[in-house]
Amino acid sequence: MLSDHIIITGGRALARSFAKINLTLDVLNKREDGYHNVEMIMQTVSLFDLVLVDKTHSGISVTTNLRFLPSNEKNLAYAAAREFFNATGMNGGCKIMIHKNIPVAAGLAGGSGNAAAVLAALNMLYNAGLSEQQLCELGLKLGADVPYCILGGTYLAEGIGEKLSPLPPMPNCSILLVKPPINISTAAIYEKIDSEDITVRPDTDAMGRALVSGDPSAVAAQLSNVMSTVTESMHPIVRGIKEKMIKNGAIGAEMSGSGPTVFGIFPDYATAKRSHDSFVYQFKDVFITAPAY
């Protein structure tokens, strides 16, 4: 639960805002409202941003350590604060400072996590008494991944990502994240999925059973992302990273979300570290993580 990762001291909240990976991701169909129905198994990993929220008398401000990120309502953290004050009618404001460690536009839901952290932090700072369910409803207005980020852990997400059912936690292992420096157009991927006959799809039920078994190799064997098939044809580097991870001893590797981050599951830390060391010469964004929550 996100609130377990928030410390309150006086009028200040310090939150850890975690990244997620998709153990499975399937796109079922396009809805009339333009969104897609998905079926995906999400897992929190131990890479996190720090989100500091100070209570103020009025107004909302956001600063981050990354100059290129917006500090106005285009920042999901700002939008979350505005949503909180609008929904609760509370008088007051907040000053938000974010230290980003999670790479941006990476398929790791970094921005959604920040929004979730701000909602949960303000709920605590202002004693607003919103239930987890109410926070998720507010979060959904900001993005389909925000409700999941409010809960955190291991979940099956359906609908546009907002229908969440808990699953057994992912067994402990080392998870290597590598983000190549490319920009993925999520819209272009959805377009291809809609127009082409996709044959390789995840077996979501089998992943559910693998989680119940508690065996990391069973989980690794079921990793699957319908978007990666499309992405790899446009950006072969994604496939290249997967193959290199497997050569380095990963028991499974897949792309997260709409990419471009690739994650590999390693049976032990030492093997993950050797693989990490072989990637850091090539890429800036390389992290050894583990299942979190």
Which positions are annotated as active-site residues?
Answer: 20, 145
Q: Which segments of the chain are extended strands (E)?
A: 6-9, 12-30, 36-56, 60-64, 93-99, 154-158, 163-166, 174-179, 224-225, 252-255, 262-266, 285-289
Smallest separation, CB 125 to ligand ATP (Å): 18
Cα separation, 255 vs 285, whole angstroms = 14
Cα separation, 229 vs 192, whole angstroms = 10
In the complex with ligand ATP, the residue whose CB is nearer, 186 or 217, is 186
Near ligand ATP by CB under 6 A, which window of 74-82, 120-128, 130-138, 209-217? 74-82
Cα separation, 45 vs 22, whole angstroms = 10
Taking the CB of residue 9, how many other CB atoms lie within 10 A of it? 7
Told to check if 122 binds ligand ATP by CB under 6 A, we report no
Told to check if 116 binds ligand ATP by CB under 6 A, we report no
- Pick one of 83, 110, 222, 286: the residue that binds ligand ATP (CB under 6 A): 110
Told to check if 75 binds ligand ATP by CB under 6 A, we report yes
Q: What secondary structure letter does DSSP report for 3? A: G
Segment 136 to 175, residues that bind ligand ATP, using CB under 6 A: 145
The H or E element that residue 7 is part of is strand 6-9
The H or E element that residue 126 is part of is none
Near ligand ATP by CB under 6 A, which window of 38-46, 72-80, 150-158, 210-218? 72-80
Told to check if 105 binds ligand ATP by CB under 6 A, we report yes
Told to check if 204 binds ligand ATP by CB under 6 A, we report no
The whole-angstrom distance between residue 236's C-alpha and the CA centroid of its chain comes to 23
Q: Is the dihedral of CA 221, 257, 52, 135 positive or negative?
A: negative
The whole-angstrom distance between residue 71's C-alpha and the CA centroid of its chain comes to 21
The H or E element that residue 74 is part of is none
**Contact characters 246-275, ligand ATP, x per CB under 6 A:** -----------xx-----------------
Residue nearest to ligand ATP (CB): 111
In the complex with ligand ATP, the residue whose CB is nearer, 70 or 236, is 70
Q: Which of 266, 259, 250 is nearest to 174 (CA)?
A: 266
Helices marked H in 15-71 — which ranges? none
In the complex with ligand ATP, the residue whose CB is nearer, 123 or 256, is 256
User: How many residues bind to ligand ATP according to rule CB under 6 A?
Assistant: 19
In the complex with ligand ATP, the residue whose CB is nearer, 147 or 216, is 147
Near ligand ATP by CB under 6 A, which window of 33-41, 67-75, 123-131, 198-206? 67-75
User: Which residues bind to ligand ATP, rule: CB under 6 A?
Assistant: 69-70, 75-77, 98, 104-112, 114, 145, 257-258
